[in-house]
Amino acid sequence: MSRLILLAACLALLSCQTASSSPARTPSSLLDNHAVTFTSGDGSELSGYLYKPPGDGPFDTILMMHGCSGMLDRDGSIKPRETAWLEILRAEGYAVLLADSFTKRGYGSICRIRSRPITPSRDRPHDAYGALRWLQAQPFTQADRIVLMGWSNGAMSMLWAVKRDAPQRPKNLAHDFRAAIGFYPGCITLRRKNPDYAAAVPVLLQIGLADDWTKPKPCMALVDEATARGSGAKMTYDAYADAYHGFDHPDSKPRAITTKHSAYRSGKRTVHVGTNVEARAQAIANVKAYLRTVFRD
C-alpha cells in the first residue's frame, strides 16, 4: 500500500511546528548526562544517548539509527537532523535512544569510504537488536512497545533487521520491535537478494521522489510486491514530490555532493541532498500519526 504525497504549500501549523522543532544540534557538553553503552548482537560495545520524559514510566520508546555520516559532528555534538527528530519525538512523550554504530568502532562518517567497513546487511542489524535487548531490560520501558527508526544507511539497516528471516534476530527474543520506520533507504541490493522479502513487523517508509542517491522506485517496488504477495507484516510508504535525499533535515541547503561506495560502477557518485520544507513538515505529521496508531493499544 502506498500514499503519494503531492505538496503545493506547507500548512501554516506544520510550518510553525517544523521551525520550532529544528534546533541546530545537541551540544557535546550536555551529552555526558545521557550517554549509555550497550552490547551489539555481534559482541561489540557501542555507545548511545538516552532521553526520557519526566517520570518513572514505563514509556513508549523509539530507537533511532543514524545514516552513513554517523551520529556525531566533529565537535562531538549530535548532528542537526538527529537532534531535530529527537526533539520532535520527545515532545510527543516518547523515550528515545540514539544508537551510535560508528564511534566506538573507530569511525565518524563512512559516506566517502569506498569499501565500507560497517554494513547495513551484516553489522547494523546486530546493533539494532543489541539496543533492543538493552532497552527491554530497563525499568522505564515495556518490552513490546519499542519502535525502530532509521535514516538512509540506518533505514537500510532497519529493513535488513526486521526481515522475517533475519539471522541477526535473537532466537530467544520474546518481543520484537513493535514497528519500524525508515527514511530514504536504499533497496536495490535488498530487493535483489530477497525477491520474496517479508517484514516481521509493520514498516513505514518515507521516500523522496527526486532522490538520486537511494533511488525511490526499488523501495516502492519492494513494498508493493510484498503487499501483493500478502506476505509478512504490513508495509507502506509515503512518497514526496521534488524531495531529495535528506529532505527532512531541519536546515540543509539543497546541493550536490560526492559519495563513494564499492557498489557503484565508478566507485563514486555525485548526488543531491537537502531540505524540502513542505515534504519535511508532512513527513513529521505522517510519522507522528503512524506512531500514535502503532502505540494506540
Instruction: Tell me what pLDDT residue 3 has.
Output: 53
Domain boundaries, the chain: 2-294
Report the length, in residues, of the chain: 297
Q: What is the band of 18 on the pLDDT scale with cuts at 50, 70, 90? A: very low
Q: Hey, what CATH topology would domain 2-294 get?
A: Rossmann fold (3.40.50)
In one-letter notation, the amino acid at residue 59 is F
What whole-number distance in Å separates Cα of residue 271 and Cα of residue 256?
A: 5
Cα 220 from Cα 237, distance rounded (Å):
7
Give residue-wise pLDDT tens across range 113-160: 989 999 999 999 999 999 999 999 999 999 999 999 999 999 999 999
pTM for this predicted structure? 0.90
pLDDT per position as a tens digit, 186-222: 999 999 999 999 999 999 999 999 999 999 999 999 9
DSSP H or E stretch at residue 250: none
pLDDT band at 260 (very low <50, low <70, confident <90, very high): confident
